[in-house]
Structure 1
Amino acid sequence: MGNVYFGFSHVGSVAVAVLIILAVMSVFSWAFIFYKWLQLKGLDRKNKVFLNKFIETKDKTSLEAFAKASDSIAGKLYLLNKESSSSAFTFFEMIARELEGGFPWLASVGATAPFVGLFGTVWGIINAFNNIGNVQSVTIATVAPGISEALITTAAGIFVAVPAVIGYNILHTKLSSLLNELDGFLEALSR
């Protein structure tokens, strides 16, 4: 425990700023990941209920009533397609753009967090060399604070990037699957 405290007790103001930036990136990434996971899971569940009803129901009147009561994208596509296929297609494109919102930001966090941490690493190493230049004899105590600062920011950058990249890949795959299913449904409706 004392070793961990030693690592944080010598962190300079630039490294603290880097750690704060990484903490903000991490909080927003996790919030987006949880929000998007719940959103996509809910939409997928609602669509599956409607699509099962669509397959099982032969009565168009009861299916239309179910679509109106349903809070699914598939149900809305079904109703809009009855009016015109172009309005259903426009609605689908609008929903796809809306659901893809935030993904570029999450990808950016995954791509840039290691470099933000690397900036802190470089700064820590610069501090270590400055400490070497300020003393006559070089000991581990001279360079340890700068090196520990460098390692802390490096680890923090990786800690932020890895969940963002994994979250992006899992969520984007889930979104692609949902959109492909809806696109197939829309094509089937227009036939």
Structure 2
Amino acid sequence: MTLLTLLQTAASDLAAPAPITPAHTSALGDMLHNSGPVAMTVLIVLGLASLLSWTVMISKWRSFGAANTQSKRFLRAFRKSGRLSEISAVAEQFRPSPLVAVFTEINDEYYRQTNGRGLPKNPNGLERAAATASSEALTVMEERVTWLATIANIAPFIGLFGTVMGIIDAFHGLGASGTATLRAVAPGISEALITTAAGIVVAVPAVVGYNHLTSQLRDFAARTDDFGRELLNAIENAAAFQPMNPGAPEERRRQQ
């Protein structure tokens, strides 16, 4: 290659306009910016659903953690003490625990039947009181958990609705413009598909949170049932060793 050729090549390179490098922009941001009113409405609804699901999950994880900690402490206090009156006096300290509600209901029913002395007159009544207290405590703990199941079920369909409407709008614009090219229809379809992706992003955490919280609720239900039976056994065992008539020894001494 001669020197003249090299100079001509360099001159042509200098004369040619430099290629314009497009600014780096986020494809996701572009799709959000160009989304139509239906897609934006769907995305707002999904955003609110995601906020609700995360609020429920965080609040429940905190309350369940406190309930679990207080349940362990209450069980230790209950097993160390030999008197129902002692446990009743300190039960309010462990109030986040569902076991406290079971204990309070059984203890109140026992005192209504026996005034705190002797065997219960109606053991079935104590068992029903334990079952009722356990059910009510779990019902309180289950509040708002069903929202997670609802969000997990409907979020993908809401996203799919946005996608279908977006594709319909894209093909309608394609038919109106009369240009049947991929370049013409691809932006509209890609903008429509973002709602389906958003629906999946909202649904997956809700499913995981719902399954985790449901597992914890089953554990709490088992523990409340076990504690109810343990408390009933403790009452029966303690009552069996109490004198049926505490005033009898004093009367015998007076007669002597």
After TM superposition, is the score higher than 0.5?
Answer: yes
- Contact persistence 1:68–1:79 (CA under 8 A): no
Following TM superposition, by how much is the alpha carbon of 1:27 offset from its aligned partner in structure 2, in angstroms? 0.7
Matched, 1:172 2:195: no
Q: 2:39, 2:202 → 1: CA distance?
A: 15
The equivalent of 1:45 in structure 2 is 69
Q: Which has the higher contact order (CA 8 A, sep 6+)?
A: 1
Q: 1:93 aligns with which of 121, 128, 135?
A: 135
Aligned ranges 1:119-134 → 2 under 5 Å = 119-134=161-176
- Contact persistence 2:38–2:165 (CA under 8 A): yes
Deviations 1:126-159 (A, max 9, x none): 1221122022323333112321222110100001
Q: 1:58, 1:137 → 2: CA distance?
A: 84
Q: 1:140 aligns with which of 178, 182, 203?
A: 182
Q: How many residues align?
A: 190
Aligned ranges 1:1-16 → 2 under 5 Å = 1-16=25-40
Deviations 1:49-79 (A, max 9, x none): 1112223x14325434332443233234223
Aligned ranges 1:22-61 → 2 under 5 Å = 22-55=46-79, 57-60=80-83, 61=85
Say which is worse superposed, 129-138 or 180-189, in terms of deviation: 129-138
Q: Give percent identity, aligned residues only.
A: 37
Taking only aligned residues, the RMSD between alpha carbons, in angstroms, comes to 1.8
Matched, 1:157 2:180: no
Name the structure where helix makes up a greater proportion of residues: 1
Matched, 1:75 2:100: yes
Q: Closer, same or farther in 2 for the Cα pair 1:136/1:27, shift >3 Å?
A: same
TM-score by length of 1: 0.90
Q: 2:197, 2:167 → 1: CA distance?
A: 15
Amino acid at match of 1:133: G
Larger Rg: 2
TM-score by length of 2: 0.69
